[in-house]
Structure formats: C-alpha cells, structure tokens
C-alpha cells in the first residue's frame, strides 16, 4: 500500500503540473474545481488499474486465495521476539502516560 500511495501522489503531482501549465489554478474557485476533478479522475484511474492488476493475476493462475504450502511452526526465537516486542510497546505506552 505504501508503494501504491507513492504512485498516486506522483500521478496527482503530474496532473497538478498540467493544470498549472494550462493556467487553470488562477483563482480559489478554479483551484477547488480542478482539485475536485483531479480526485475524481484519480479514483477512476485507481479503479481501472486495480481491474488490470486483477486480470493479470488471474492470467497467472490466481484462484482467489494465496497459496500456502506449509505453515512454519514457531520456535523459541519467535516467542522471544514476540515477548520483546510486547515489552517495548508496553514500556513506550508507560512512558507516554507518565509524561
């Protein structure tokens, strides 16, 4: 999702540059109108891109569920990492609440 947000921001910036080069952002009213149209256009582009990605996934054999061959069992390191993560999160909350 993080990478896709970068793609959307790049597309929005490109559309904004195009509107600025056409002098469509001269007044506040026009800015609101142009930005509203850009958001609508980004929604349609996002939907279309999602459809293309889904069709590409289907053509490569995607059946609706991720294929998991074998679920690895948790070991001592996994339990230790979980405990340490919990301790760090609780310590952070305690420090935040004390201040």
In a domain, 84, yes or no: no
Query: Is the confidence at residue 89, as pLDDT, over 90?
Result: yes
Query: Is the confidence at residue 98, as pLDDT, over 90?
Result: no
Q: Write the pLDDT tens digit of every residue in 17-52.
A: 998 898 888 888 888 888 899 999 999 998 998 899
What residue numbers bound the domain in which 22 lies? 2-59
Q: Work out the angle at residue 32's Cα, subtended by the Cα atoms of residues 28 and 34, and round it to the nearest 5 degrees.
A: 115
Distance CA 83, CA 9 (A): 37
User: CA 93: distance to chain centroid?
Assistant: 27
Task: At 74, give phi and psi (nearest 5°).
Answer: -75, 145
Query: Is the confidence at residue 92, as pLDDT, over 80?
Result: yes
pTM of the model: 0.53
- What is the average pLDDT score of the chain? 89
Distance CA 83, CA 85 (A): 5
In a domain, 40, yes or no: yes
In a domain, 54, yes or no: yes
| Residue 42 confidence (pLDDT) | 92
Tell which residue, 19, 7, 17, 13, has the closest CA to residue 45. Answer: 7
Tally the domains of the chain. 1
């Amino acid at each position: 999702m993080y990478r896709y947000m970068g793609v959307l921001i790049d597309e929005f910036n490109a559309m904004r540059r195009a509107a600025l080069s056409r002098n469509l952002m001269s007044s506040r009213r026009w800015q609101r109108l142009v930005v509203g149209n850009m958001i609508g256009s980004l929604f349609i582009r996002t939907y279309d891109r999602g459809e293309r990605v889904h069709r590409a996934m289907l053509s490569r054999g995607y059946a609706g569920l991720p294929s998991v061959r074998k679920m690895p069992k948790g070991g001592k390191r996994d339990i230790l990492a979980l405990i340490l993560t919990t301790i760090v999160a609780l310590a952070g909350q305690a420090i935040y609440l004390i201040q």
